[in-house]
Amino acid sequence: MKLFKSVLVAASLALSLGTFSTSAVACEDGRTCVPFSDAVKMIDGHINMAIEAIDKEHDTATILLHIKQAKDLSKEINENDKVDIARGRANGLLKKAKSAVRKGEMAAGDDVLRAARAKFASLARLRN
């Protein structure tokens, strides 16, 4: 009887762990699930649009929207520890740019966005 209980508990544990797969629900609603290279290209596009909006003196809301979209897309980049650390540093630059734009310091925001664009472009080197 004791052996039967142990087998039953082990079997039910194995079945419960096997039925729930995190990879099956990884791309649920609200997630974009894009490949690494596409995510970097889309982030670069949003940063470029933010820089162009600064150059054309668009309203602050437009610039902040592109910065937010770039930051949200950066969450899709998850390769290894080196890439994750560099992505965090690039996100820090996006945060600085957002702060500068909110303060009305467009020139500083432009410079920081250009640095962030370079950081995101360099992530491909760290993949291997």
- Residue 98 pLDDT: 95
Is residue 45 included in any domain, yes or no? yes
Domain span holding position 107? 27-126
Is residue 85 included in any domain, yes or no? yes
Contacts of 44 (CB under 8 A, 6+ apart): 117, 120, 121
Collapsing DSSP states into helix, strand and coil, what is residue 77?
coil
If one counts the domains in the chain, the total is 1
Q: What pTM was estimated for this model as a whole?
A: 0.73
Q: Could you give the angle at which helices 106-121 and 36-55 cross, rounded to 10 degrees?
A: 160
Per-residue confidence in pLDDT tens, the chain, 128 aa: 888 888 888 888 777 776 655 555 556 555 557 788 888 999 999 999 999 999 998 889 999 999 999 999 998 888 888 989 999 999 999 999 999 999 999 999 999 999 999 999 998 888 76
Is residue 121 included in any domain, yes or no? yes
Q: Rounded CA gap, 89 and 52, in Å?
A: 23
CATH number at residue 36: 1.20.120.660
> What is the residue type of 23?
S
Q: Rounded CA gap, 44 and 118, in Å?
A: 9
